[in-house]
Amino acid sequence: MTQEIGRRPNIYDVASAAGVSKSLVSLVLRGAPGVSPARRAAVEEAIERLNYRPSRAAATLAGNRSRTIGVVLDDYRNLWFVDLLAGLHDQLAPLGFRVAVADPSFNAHLDRTPVDGLMSLRVDGIVIATEPTEEMFAAVDVPVVVAGNRDMAVPGADVVANDDMMGGRLATEHLIGLGHREIGHVSGGGGAARLRAQGYDTAMRERGLRPHIARGQGLTTESDGYQAALKLLDESPSLTAIFAANDTMALGAAGAARDRGRRIPEELSLIGYDNSPLASANLLRLTTIDGRNAEVGAGAAKALLNRMEDRAVQIGTMLVEPELVIRASTAAL
């Protein structure tokens, strides 16, 4: 036994324990074809016996790639990303790729942007699931796709998103179809919110209805939704329905409705956006727009994979069609 105690086993330890070369161990590790079943079994047995865990650092360094896709999130509290990650994961994991999320309150002491952190990890691709900024793209030479936001036309970066404008229209037309005419919109900061508002605005004007939009102080949090909805209800008491730019803001709007004594859906219809876990909560049973984030995630994965094979291929912008999910927060007037 040449292995000293206290040292983590490496690929050579496994090789000698299995009676093969380190290269063969490497092949087994990567699931390469063309390894005889007998040797493969011997290597796997040795791995198990030694409790060997390959060093990703060494693999990344030697292979000049990490087989990891980085995801930049914005806020854990807004749960729209959960399905996005699931969609990414489902596509990527079978191909041996890992998904690494960059902490939203990212390691600012060490990097200027979350993307820096991912680049120093040598990720093979990046999904940006937050408002993109110019500086994020500064030092990136791997495929990038922006998910869920069509705001920024980044040369060379694909965009996969749900069609927010269509979703805004869908939500609004659902309410109009239920007989509502006085419909308010609770909006927030950011590109997706802007497009949703635009869809709302178009749908309203097409029917000759007057849009009422209130925007919260901050971005798209519950309290922003609460404040904006309060404003809407106070300034336009004749409103019979509210479309909120996302489910979290819809939760805020539901609070505002309760505080103004407006029962949902009897006295006020409410529709959200994202079909997040929150929307299915029994207290809300929120009618919402499902942006089909799992499919957005899957699309982002495919875009990345395409571009990793061939940098020239570009899908440009891919839009996923959103769907109306009717629950109990909207009712006929």
- Only one of the segments 35-43, 94-102, 163-171, 304-312 lies at the binding site for a second copy (rule: CB under 8 A); that segment is 94-102
Tell which residue, 181, 278, 184, 276, has the closest CA to residue 230: 184
- Only one of the segments 34-42, 57-65, 159-167, 183-191 lies at the binding site for a second copy (rule: CB under 8 A); that segment is 57-65
* Smallest separation, CB 315 to a second copy (Å): 24
Q: Which of 36, 51, 105, 282 binds DNA (CB under 7 A)?
A: 36
Q: Which of 17, 20, 102, 186 binds DNA (CB under 7 A)?
A: 20
Does the protein bind a second copy through residue 260 (CB under 8 A)? no
DSSP 97-127: -EEEEEPSS--TTT-SSHHHHHHHTT-SEEE
Q: Which residues pair with 324 in a beta bridge?
A: 289
Tell which residue, 96, 98, 95, 151, has the closest CA to residue 128: 151
* Smallest separation, CB 321 to a second copy (Å): 25
Tell which residue, 239, 277, 272, has the closest CA to residue 254: 272
Distance, CA of 282 to CA of 276 (rounded, Å): 13
Buried b (16+ CB within 10 A) or exposed e, 55-66: eeeebbeeeeeb
CB of 31 or CB of 155, closer to a second copy: 31
Tell which residue, 171, 182, 136, has the closest CA to residue 156: 136
Q: How many residues contact a second copy, by CB under 8 A?
A: 58
Q: Which of 54, 104, 189, 211 binds DNA (CB under 7 A)?
A: 54
Distance, CA of 160 to CA of 29 (rounded, Å): 33
Distance, CA of 309 to CA of 144 (rounded, Å): 13
* Smallest separation, CB 298 to a second copy (Å): 14
How do the residues of the chain divide into helix, strand and coil, expressed in percent and rounded to 5?
45, 15, 40
Tell which residue, 234, 237, 220, 239, has the closest CA to residue 180: 239
Does the protein bind DNA through residue 24 (CB under 7 A)? yes
* Smallest separation, CB 99 to DNA (Å): 19
Does the protein bind DNA through residue 29 (CB under 7 A)? yes
Q: Which of 45, 49, 62, 108 binds DNA (CB under 7 A)?
A: 62
Q: How many residues contact DNA, by CB under 7 A?
A: 30
DSSP 49-97: HHT----HHHHHHHHT--SEEEEE-S-TTSTTHHHHHHHHHHHHGGGT-
* Smallest separation, CB 27 to DNA (Å): 6
* Smallest separation, CB 102 to DNA (Å): 19
Does the protein bind a second copy through residue 19 (CB under 8 A)? no
Q: Which of 1, 5, 38, 312 binds DNA (CB under 7 A)?
A: 38
Query: Residues in the site for DNA, rule: CB under 7 A?
Result: 7-8, 10-12, 20-24, 26-27, 29-30, 33-36, 38-39, 52, 54-55, 58-59, 61-65
Q: Which residues bind a second copy (CB under 8 A)?
A: 8, 51, 53-58, 60-61, 66, 76-77, 79, 81-82, 85-86, 89, 93-94, 96, 98-101, 103, 105, 107-110, 116-117, 119-122, 138-139, 141, 222-223, 226, 251-252, 254-256, 258-259, 277, 280-285
